[in-house]
Amino acid sequence: MRTNYQPEPKPLTMIFMPTAVVLDKESAQRDRIRIRLNECGVLPICFQDEWICLENINFIRPAFAVLRTDSYEYALRFVNLAKAIDGEFPIFVLSDRKEVEAYIRGNWLTDLFFSRTSTEGQAFRKTLDLIPGEKSGHLGPILIAGSKQRKRLLQRLPLLALSREPVLITGGKGVGKKSIAKAIHHWSIFRNVEHLFIDAGKITGEWILQMRRRISSQEMPTEGPPIEIIENIEKLPLPLQAQLLSLLDFADTGAADRLPKAPFITLARVDVETLVRRWAFRKDLYHRLSVFNVMVPPLCGHAEDILALADYFAVYYGIRCNDGICRLSDTVLDAFTDYHWPNNVSELKACVKRLVAADRAQWQKIVSDMFAAGPNGVRNNPFVDKNEIRDYLKCHKDVSLKQMKSMYVVRVEKKTDAGRPVEDRGQLQTGGGIVGYQLQVHAQQGQGIWTGLEGKF
């Protein structure tokens, strides 16, 4: 008796293609890019509007983005905003304009790639092959620039990092001197070595002796204590200035001179050269420290930097606080460019944080109140950042989830009661929800609950 034989169905083989978002205002160019990506085994998702494209980068997390533009300003803004979503997100820029090419090829940010729009075939595929499939995990500080002055400054940093000579970073309060120092250290040959900031007012003769012993031992920085960066060098007493000068001279002589060195970095809030003319700072030490002098410009009078940083912070904190991209209104941006920003980038960051956490309908009132109150009106912002919470969820298991959440909400409550407007109190619910969510996620992953509670509240 015959039976109907039916072979077992073969399992389906799933072929996963890398996806890429494509941003181009011209439909004809988008179609050409779509065909070229398909030929290279990439699934393109095309967009005409940059903000919709950024939203999709945030939610679908493609392998990379392709931007086709001949506008330098458009390329600058898109790169900055995409890096706010993910600092290691690869961006492939197609353009026929030399200014755009110079910006991408000479950029201080990582994972940027460039090719001419007309490039096709093997040359196009070779550029795609340069895009890494996995993140390196060695992301340094994300530095944002809009003005030509600030862009020239940031383009110098990788070269300064490769130098053995001292670097003096000068600028007013909140301009980002520490971020620039971190970037120089990150690009140096000792990027994997921990670095610490030490205030010059706390330096003692014992500290200088310890540094001299480290140099005498011919100990490689990778094997010893962290590399220390001196801030507020103008506070260093005159007797210690002579000892520091002797230490620098000692480091450049003998066997120690043959060891690889990271740049000796110092920070100053005031013009040290002015102190030299007033006999408040040694001239020889100033020239020794300022072989490379980096002057960080303030935000006042630099509208391009204000707009670039404001958009970056809005996207960055919008994703990490509200799980979506926040776009500042033109009214808010106009108010930002008219303000003098006495505390510079740190004040701008705090202002954007508060707007992101507040209701959009209240933005104009919040901005008016903050600018009327001055920089002190921004400083006590009770915003809760998920990254800040994540940094503390490391080791200790002796604190319960309920205790940790209560302690963090109390911290925010104290800031709110210290003179903030009444509308800020609604942020307590947002903060508490973020805390609870982060704790649950880390508890499920089997990670620690909380570390470094002492002194934080």
pLDDT digits (tens, 9 = 90+) for 226-246: 888 999 999 999 999 999 999
Query: Stretch 421-440: mean pLDDT, rounded?
Result: 40
Looking at the structure, tell me whether residues 153 and 284 fall in a common domain: yes
Note whether 125 and 214 are same-domain residues. no
Q: Are 113 and 101 in contact (CB under 8 A)?
A: no
What average pLDDT does range 417-431 have in this prediction? 39
As a whole number, the mean pLDDT across the chain is 79
> Which pTM does this prediction carry?
0.75
List, for residues 393-409, the tens digit of each pLDDT value: 554 455 566 666 666 66
81 and 157 housed in the same domain: no
- Looking at residue 336, its pLDDT comes to 93
User: Directed axis angle between helix 303-322 and helix 72-85, to 10°?
Assistant: 30
pLDDT at 427: 37
Q: Do 173 and 237 reside in the same domain of the chain?
A: yes
Q: Could you say which of 249, 277, 295 is where a domain stops?
A: 295
**Is the per-residue pLDDT at 441 higher than 90?**
no
Structure confidence at residue 219 (pLDDT)? 58
Domain shared by 154 and 278, yes or no = yes
Residue 239 lies in a domain: yes
pLDDT confidence of residue 133: 72
Residue 193 sits in the same domain as residue 273: yes
pLDDT tier, 223 (very low <50, low <70, confident <90, very high otherwise): low
Which tops the pLDDT comparison, 447 or 30?
Answer: 30
Could you tell me if residue 325 is inside a domain?
A: no
Helix (H/G/I), strand (E/B), else coil: 178? helix
Instruction: Determine the Cα–Cα distance for residues 21 and 17; give it in Å rounded to an integer.
Output: 13
CA 442 – CA 72 distance, rounded (Å): 42
Which position has the higher pLDDT, 456 or 25?
25
Contacts of 245 (CB under 8 A, 6+ apart): 282, 284, 285, 288
Domain presence at residue 140: no
**Within-domain flag for 330:** no
Residues 406 and 273 in one domain: no
**Distance in angstroms (rounded) separating the CA atoms of residues 320 and 84:** 10
Q: Looking at the structure, do residues 188 and 117 belong to the same domain, yes or no? A: no
Residues 243 and 165 in one domain: yes
| Domain enclosing residue 161, as ranges | 148-295
Tokens of 379: 């400083």
Judge contact between 297 and 169, C-beta under 8 A: no
The pLDDT confidence band at residue 431, using thresholds 50, 70 and 90, is very low
In a domain, 246, yes or no: yes
In the block, tokens 């963090």 appear at: 408
Q: Which residues are paired to 396 by β-bridges?
A: 450
Choose the weakest-confidence range: 79-93, 308-322, 381-395: 381-395
Q: Are 268 and 232 in contact (CB under 8 A)?
A: yes
Mean pLDDT for 163-167 is: 87
Closest CA to 376 of 414, 418, 337, 413: 418
> Is 412 inside a domain boundary?
yes
CB 128 within 8 A of CB 138: no
Classified as helix, coil or strand, 141 is: coil
Q: Is residue 81 part of a domain?
A: yes
Mean pLDDT of 69-98: 93
CATH number, domain containing residue 48: 3.40.50.2300
**Mean pLDDT confidence for 22-36:** 89
- Residue 423's SS3 state is helix
User: Is the model's pLDDT at 191 over the cut of 60?
Assistant: yes
Domain membership flag for residue 373: no
278 with 153, same domain: the answer is: yes
Q: Same domain for 101 and 229? A: no
Q: Which of 129, 161, 181 delimits the end of a domain?
A: 129
Residue with tokens 């002098």: 293
Q: How far is CA 127 from the centre of its chain?
A: 26
What is the model's pLDDT at position 399?
A: 56
Among candidate residues 354, 452, 444, the one with its CA nearest the CA of residue 404: 452
Mean pLDDT, range 329-342, rounded to an integer: 91
Amino acid at 277: R
Same domain, 97 and 185: no
pLDDT at 216: 72
| Confidence grade of residue 221 (pLDDT, cut at 50, 70, 90) | low
Please tell me the total number of residues recorded for the chain in this structure. Answer: 457
Residues 6+ apart with CB under 8 A from 31: none
Final residue in a domain of this structure, among 295, 318, 341: 295
Does 87 score more than 80 pLDDT? yes
With a cut of 80, say whether residue 200 has pLDDT above it.
Answer: yes
Which CATH number do you get for residue 171? 3.40.50.300
- What pLDDT sits at residue 212? 84
Domain count of the chain? 3
